[in-house]
Amino acid sequence: MTDPAWPLSPQIVTVFGGSGFIGRAVVAVLARKNFRIRVAVRRPNLAGNVQPFGFPGQIHPVQANLRFPDSVTDAVRGASVVINLVGVLRQKGRQSFTAVHAEGARRVADAAAAAGARLIHVSALGADPASRSAYARTKAEAEAAVRAAVPEAVILRPSVVFGPGDGFFNRFGSLARMLPVLPLAGAETRFQPVYVGDVAEAIARAVAGSVAGGRVSELGGPEVRTLRELVEYVLKITERRRLVLALSPRFAGWQAVLTETLDLLSLGLMPNDFVLTRDQVALLQRDNVVSAQAKAEGRTLEGIGIAPTAIEAIAPAYLTRFRKTGQFDMKREADFGAGAPDDLAARSTRPGSGFRPGEAVGPAAIGERPAA
């Protein structure tokens, strides 16, 4: 919630994609810092989930579609800072990688330049014009378009982003609940998962002018792990025994063809968790970690002044729901060393619990006389 001790900033910050996973975290942080926020989304009627983050009137959803330049211009008009968070992991209909990443980012950058607004563009680690993945190529094209229109733009490249509501750990938690075997494309590919709250704070600092423009920062968490290790971590937290089957690029490609075909035949009704695309298979052949050059030049979270948050500090809180008995499990409580309170327990829950049924408790036990 907004800090009531300080007046709202006169600056307007337009956030494209502000109702998405990263967008919600960004809007929440900006609201706490008393910025006025314009949330530019395709369906403003579905963006009401961000309005409780601030005072009435502080957060205003507006309609904007990156495929229509006039709507982008209208959303940017009067803004001091523009943030572009829009991206897709799968092409679907008119929401292609080129339309959303490359052309959409160019329209946002052109509109920001025309309005004289500062620009913060969120890309992705692995953006590469020579990549076999269309996702990575169009992310690189977007960065080039941003730099051409706004040379002093802040470009942030996060690794895979995790947090409540993410599409990464939650996806594998869901699959582990339904499948006895988890086939993995790119099982040995390395990732550096970064907490969504840290990414949002980095963006907020860029809005405040604390992040130098005209360069690319790479955002990663404190640990580098392979995809297999991350999936095994999910299985540990969710207490599921599943076979993790590493697929070669060839077999992963066949799986992608199969799931894409089934999704097409079902008219797009196949659950997203089951769909693996050929472009994702290509993307998973390359590590997704912060480069040594970015570390040396201070273009990281630490360079911005943010201590990265560990997976263990966040993920268990939202992954326990994938356990067989959910999050309300006495066995779980016992495993984490939390027994029932002494005044409720029928017997001692563990050594050293302080269970003393023969001793009085309450005011009389400490020499106080209860009120009449």
Q: For the CA atoms of the chain, what is the radius of gyration?
A: 24
CA distance 342 to 333: 15
Q: What is the DSSP letter of 95?
A: B
Residue 248: both structure tokens together: 């070669």
Q: How confident is the model at residue 200 (pLDDT cuts 50, 70, 90)?
A: very high
Determine what percent of the chain is predicted with pLDDT higher than 70. Answer: 86
Higher local confidence (pLDDT), 190 or 6 = 190
The pLDDT of residue 103 is above 60: yes
In CATH terms, the fold of domain 12-321 is Rossmann fold (3.40.50)
pLDDT at 340: 45
Amino acid of residue 48: G
Mean pLDDT of 29-37: 95
Mean pLDDT of 251-278: 93
The pLDDT of residue 260 is above 90: yes
Determine what percent of the chain is predicted with pLDDT higher than 90. Answer: 79
pLDDT at 30: 96
> By the 8 A CB rule, do 253 and 281 touch?
yes
Map residue 129 onto helix, strand or coil: coil
> By the 8 A CB rule, do 83 and 13 touch?
yes
Question: What is the full DSSP assignment across 49-67?
Answer: GGGGGSSTTTEEEEE--TT
Residue 303: both structure tokens together: 């360079």
CA 216 to chain centre: 19
CA distance 37 to 58: 6
Q: Where are the domains of the chain?
A: 12-321
pLDDT at 46: 85
């996060």: which residue's tokens?
158
Residue 296: both structure tokens together: 């040396």
Residue 21: both structure tokens together: 């996973």
Contacts of 192 (CB under 8 A, 6+ apart): 125, 159, 160, 220, 221, 223, 224, 225, 288, 289, 290
CA distance 46 to 72: 18
pLDDT at 342: 46
